[in-house]
């Protein structure tokens, strides 16, 4: 479910049919969920550095359980490869990369 909530806003952005480049290492964003007027959760995400996996450079995404991103209270969430304007996600604890279409 968390993967779906992360990918959904990105899918929405892609519906404009523009060629989007994944944000650089200074990007930070928040996702909040509400249900019947109460806030269920807040998550803040940030691109923090990069890593090389199978000779490709991926950007690391970290998540914090707050509406503001704080690196000291965050943890690794996934890595993203932007290749020819196609985004491949490699989630924590998974060995398969997923293409966002």
d(CA 88, CA 13): 16
Question: What DSSP assignment string belongs to 8-66?
Answer: HHHHHHHTT---PPPP-TT-EEEEEEEETTEEEEEEEEEEEEEEEETTEEEEEEEEESS
* Residue 9 clears pLDDT 50, i.e. is over it: yes
Q: Which residue has the higher pLDDT, 13 or 39?
A: 39
Q: What is the pLDDT of residues 51-96, one digit of tens each?
A: 888 888 999 999 888 877 888 888 899 999 988 878 899 998 888 8
Three-state DSSP class for residue 78 = strand
pLDDT confidence of 41, banded at 50, 70, 90?
confident
How many independent structural domains does the chain possess? 1
The answer to whether the beta carbons of residues 48 and 62 sit under 8 Å apart is yes
pLDDT confidence of 33, banded at 50, 70, 90?
confident
Query: Using CA atoms in the order 31, 56, 71, 12, what is the torsion angle rounded to 10 degrees?
Result: -10
Note down the domain range covering 57. 2-16+25-100
- What share of the chain in percent tops pLDDT 90? 15
Three-state DSSP class for residue 95 = coil
């Amino acid at each position: 479910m968390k993967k779906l909530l992360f990918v959904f806003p990105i899918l929405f952005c892609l519906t404009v049919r523009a060629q989007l480049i994944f944000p650089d290492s200074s990007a930070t964003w928040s996702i909040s969920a509400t249900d019947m007027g109460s806030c269920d959760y807040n998550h803040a995400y940030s691109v923090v550095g990069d890593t090389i996996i199978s000779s490709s450079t991926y950007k690391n995404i970290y998540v914090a359980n707050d509406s503001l991103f704080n690196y000291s209270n965050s943890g690794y969430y996934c890595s993203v490869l932007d290749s020819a304007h196609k985004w491949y996600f490699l989630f924590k604890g998974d060995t398969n990369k997923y293409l966002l279409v």
